[in-house]
Amino acid sequence: MANIEYSEQELLRRESLKKLREIGIEPYPAPLYPVSATTSKIKSRFENWSNSHPDTDIHEYKGTTICIAGRIMSRRIMGAASFMELQDEKGRIQCYVKRDEICPGEDKTMYNTVFKKLLDIGDVVGIKGYAFITQTGQLSVHAKELTLLSKSLKVLPIVKELDGKVFDAFTDPELRYRQRYVDLIVNPQVKETFIKRSQIIATMREYFNEAGCLEVETPILQSIPGGATARPFITHHNALDIPLYLRIANELYLKRLIVGGFSGVYEFAKDFRNEGMDKTHNPEFTCMEIYVAYKDYIWMMEFVEKMLEKISLKVNGTTEVTIGEHKVNFKPPFRRLPILEAIKEYAGVDVSGMDEDQLRATCKKLNVDIEPSMGKGKLIDAIFGAYAEDKLIEPTFITDYPVEMSPLTKRHRNNPDLTERFELFVCGKELANAYSELNDPIDQFERFEEQAKLKSKGDDEAMFIDMDFVRALEYGMPPTSGLGMGIDRLTMFMTGQSTIQDVLFFPQMRPEKTLKKENKEEAQESNE
């Protein structure tokens, strides 16, 4: 068994746990508790009552019996009567606890022993009573009954202020992301980001459903990781004795459904890419992909503009959003700029028509870092990333990518060297990727073969050849437009967060043992 060391406070709480059981109180009782109100409902009901009874003494208002449950966040013990602050999902409210009210008989154990000595900040309790206004004008709950629902054995980092200084604030990002449950308790404002995330997804669902699209589910475990250029996670299926991959995208399965006869399908998918982590990337992320038959990428641009405007208005009440130091407006229309024109505008070079050797020479001249395995597509993308991306602050559609950069995209109707593709950039970051989908099976197979050549050169992000997908296209896929959009990054933009970790409840973190070892080594080095 693990050798766990407890702090003095943790030992005291475990002793209280033992004493509670000794006097016959179960610290973790059966889960059913008849909650009938929340802090926000109590405040709303009282406000409505006081507005409709303007001439009544509000100090005597009792209303109906209410039952509320939550976590003790502070206490003031005052002899036979005390106050405590209770926090639930909706907020905080003061509770008034009087000894003779919760212990109407001769036995005062619940107040003198349990409430005053054995309960702690962080414990979850239930209160049955009524709402009233104290003499100082504070809405409170007068407790008639008090029930312990869950004993807390850990000490909460409750924020305290003294002489203008703040103590015990739970602000360290490493701890906040690793112990999100504590973060949500002591920093309740964090919940607003995740409430908005839920609103974003709900608004998108409503928008897609109104457009006549069907929400579907596709496999997470795939025999061939397709639909994007990325390094996959790999696992093994014991019964079939075959390797399987966690999906990097759900694109190819959704397009199979378009082949099968659906006119519009979408999915909010968990995707996985075995790549680095930083402020805007997590190895597990949520991506929405939608495919609509008989549409093209130009139609999709307008579709996306209207959707983002709708989301921004729903979540923020305005199309203007503050992202870092920038104010961004999601009011359509957005700027549309071909990628080669963007490179010419921001890098000052015209790379159209260049072969691979010329692109390598250009990268060297522009001091752009490249790898030997890179083909034309990645070389162009490297120049664009180094010189143009961070200049794209307002929502901007970068369009008409070279064929080498877009192995799943239909060739441009006016220039076969380009494709009908756009990426939407906001504040220098890609938010969405969309195509007029390639539905020519012969062209698709040839492009898969080009990807295979890149993989043989050492590009471990190049696509696999998916022959079943080629076979599906051979049955005939209607002209289709598709879009992929990262929900995590969209939430960052709509809530003004600067890191992806702030919009994920549980972001991927290094193991604590590894982190502690690194911190110890750093401390030793600094001492030396």
Q: Coil, helix or strand for 7? A: coil
- 78-86: average pLDDT: 95
The pLDDT assigned to 453 comes to 86
Question: In this predicted structure, what is the pLDDT of residue 527?
Answer: 54
**Residue 519 pLDDT exceeds 70:** no
pTM, to two decimals:
0.89
- 250-260 pLDDT per residue, tens: 999 999 999 99
The pLDDT of residue 70 is 97
Q: Is the pLDDT of residue 327 over 90?
A: yes
Q: Confidence class of residue 489 from pLDDT cuts 50, 70 and 90?
A: very high
Supply the pLDDT for residue 54. 56
| Cβ contact 366:381 at 8 Å | no
- The region of weakest confidence among 16-20, 215-219, 268-272, 462-466 is 462-466
State the pLDDT confidence band at 309, using cuts at 50, 70 and 90.
very high
Mean pLDDT over residues 425-448, rounded? 95
State the Cα–Cα distance between residues 476 and 472, nearest whole angstrom.
7
Mean pLDDT within 468-483: 97
Give me the residues paired with residue 523 across strands.
none
Mean pLDDT of the region 389-412: 93
Other Cβ atoms within 10 Å of 364 Cβ, number? 10
Per-residue pLDDT, 385: 96
Mean pLDDT throughout 340-360? 95
pLDDT tier, 168 (very low <50, low <70, confident <90, very high otherwise) = low
pLDDT > 60? residue 520: no
DSSP string, 90-145: TEEEEEEEEHHHH--SS--HIIIIIIIII--TT-EEEEEEEEEE-TTS-EEEEEEE
- pLDDT reported for residue 383: 97
What pLDDT is attached to residue 227?
Answer: 85
Question: Span 465-476, mean pLDDT?
Answer: 95
Handedness of CA 167, 173, 177, 178 (dihedral sign): negative
Rounded to an integer, the average pLDDT of 367-379 is 91
- The helix/strand/coil state of 380 is helix
Q: DSSP class of residue 342?
A: H
pLDDT of residue 404: 86
pLDDT (0 to 100) of residue 114: 95
- Confidence band (pLDDT; 50, 70, 90) for 50? low
- Once rounded to an integer, what is the mean pLDDT over residues 67-93? 95
Q: Could you tell me which residues come within 8 angstroms of residue 94 by beta carbon, excluding any fewer than 6 positions away?
A: 83, 84, 85, 86, 134, 138, 139, 140, 141
Q: Is pLDDT at 167 greater than 70 in this prediction?
A: no
d(CA 243, CA 485): 28
Give the number of other CB atoms < 10 A from CB of residue 444: 23
User: What local confidence, expressed as pLDDT, does residue 164 receive?
Assistant: 63
55 pLDDT higher than 70: no
Q: To 5 degrees, how large is the angle CA 75–CA 139–CA 171?
A: 50
Average pLDDT, the chain: 91
